Amino acid sequence: MPTFAYSARDAAGQTVSAALEAPSRRDALRLLTSRGLTPVNLSEQTAAAKNAAGKPGGAKAATALALARKEAPARPVRITRSQRLPFLNALHELTSGGLSAGEAVRLLALRVKDPGLKALSAGMWERISEGATISKALAAYPDVFDHNTINLVASGEATGNITEVLIRIIDHLNEQREMQRQLVAAMAYPVFLSVVAGGVVLFFLFFLLPRLKVLFDALHGELPLATRFLIGLSGFTLHWGWLALLLFVFGVASLWKWRNSPEGRKVTDGWLLHLPVAGQFFVAQTVHSFSQTLSVLLENGITTAEALRMTERQVDNVIHREAFAVATDRVLEGEALAKALGRTGCFPDLVLDQLAVGENTGNLVPSLRRIAVSHQKLISAQLKFFTSVIGSVVLCTVFLFVGFIAYAIVSAVFQLSQAVGRG
């Protein structure tokens, strides 16, 4: 029978360390509880630990050995936000097959191969085996699971619908990931064009023009204005380009640091909303985040007051977040949601009308879902438009600059050849 080393607190609050035999870890925990002890640490002894336990002070030595093995792993594994969706997917697959959530976590801790996912599952199972609920075990990893996920799982535990809750959480996270993927894909082409264009321009300025300048100087002729400007730009870049680059990097870093401050974030978020075309994109993002998050929270049993506060924290734009906080206060005071949101000036009239209809008919969650779907399509269309516009602007800029370089070189060659012919 396995032997477990433990440390626990008795009724007087004193720490007790010893060893006991039990068929499993769970049975050992139950045995300690029946003795009136509160477990602090419990681990199965290895052969070396059992030998140490047979000596004076052996139980404490065995406990120390178990603690040392636990606190000093051979290869520390970092658990990050990237493990969230794979863990929830695996947990849902097991619970939908009939396993309880606790048993599903235990099985994941034993079977998964990914180091980060295995460490997460093992850590959660350790807490669950000591009596914690799934939601409390999730809360032990705030860098992986956000408050919305934890609260939704807690509501699923309370209502016994944890499998359905997991499905909704996974769908919500998949939609967020798809939006991020679309944003990255939309910006990849313009960034590629910008890098290629910058390479072409630098090639002309650093390599081609200095060599042409040597040729033009040897001909001792007067150069056209365009050629003189281009050669001057090349010389400035060669001699002072490093300083311009340094100032640019310093300016960008300063602007980024200021934006991360509370005042800077508020000011820059206001600028973004007033951009001619991009402002509509940021409004659509706010509406999509608001409607998607609130619908998931409400349909899983979260109270209206708590759901509104949680949704408020998910809004990225500070201007919209502050306006939404005021609207939430009005809703909690008894005002209709559509009317309260209409006072903020952040939500389009069509969205307010859909919310009003949903409130009046008692179908607010379906209305929020339709708003989320329609604005997800709107955001995708806007991303495609921005991609085409940015790509076209970059291409036109490159073509114009290359054309200007070609004109400056050809005109200089033509003018110098005429001067040589007259001479």
Confidence of residue 349 (pLDDT cuts 50, 70, 90): confident
pLDDT higher at 56 or 126: 126
| Main-chain phi, psi angles of 9, to 5 degrees | -110, 135
For the four alpha carbons of 247, 249, 252 and 258, in that order, the dihedral sign comes to: negative
Please state the rounded mean pLDDT for residues 71-89: 74
Q: In angstroms, rounded to a whole number, what is the distance separating the alpha carbons of residues 253 and 296?
A: 38
- pLDDT at position 69 over 60: no
Please state the rounded mean pLDDT for residues 162-182: 83
pTM across the whole model: 0.63
Question: Domains of the chain by range and CATH?
Answer: 3-71 (no CATH), 81-171 (1.20.81.30), 179-423 (1.20.81.30)
What is the SS3 assignment for 274?
Answer: coil
- pLDDT at position 61 over 60: no
- Long-range pairs, 280-284, Cβ under 8 A, ≥24: 280/382, 281/379, 281/382, 281/383, 281/386, 282/317, 283/320, 283/346, 283/347, 283/348, 284/375, 284/378, 284/379, 284/382
- pLDDT at position 341 over 90: no
Instruction: Using alpha carbons, list the distances in angstroms from residue 299 to 101, 169, 241, 293, 344.
Output: 21, 11, 58, 10, 25
**pLDDT per residue as tens digits for the range 371-422:** 888 888 888 888 888 878 887 887 888 788 888 888 888 888 787 777 666 6
Confidence of residue 13 (pLDDT cuts 50, 70, 90): low
Please state the rounded mean pLDDT for residues 175-181: 81
Q: Which DSSP letter does residue 238 get?
A: H
- pLDDT at position 81 over 90: no
Q: ∠ CA 72-75-80 to the nearest 5 degrees?
A: 105
User: Do residues 357 and 367 lie in contact, with contact meaning Cβ atoms separated by under 8 Å?
Assistant: yes
Residue 249's pLDDT is what?
93
Please state the rounded mean pLDDT for residues 153-159: 78
Least confident of 4-8, 278-282, 306-310, 335-339: 4-8
Please state the rounded mean pLDDT for residues 239-245: 84
Please state the rounded mean pLDDT for residues 186-194: 79
| Main-chain phi, psi angles of 4, to 5 degrees | -115, 130
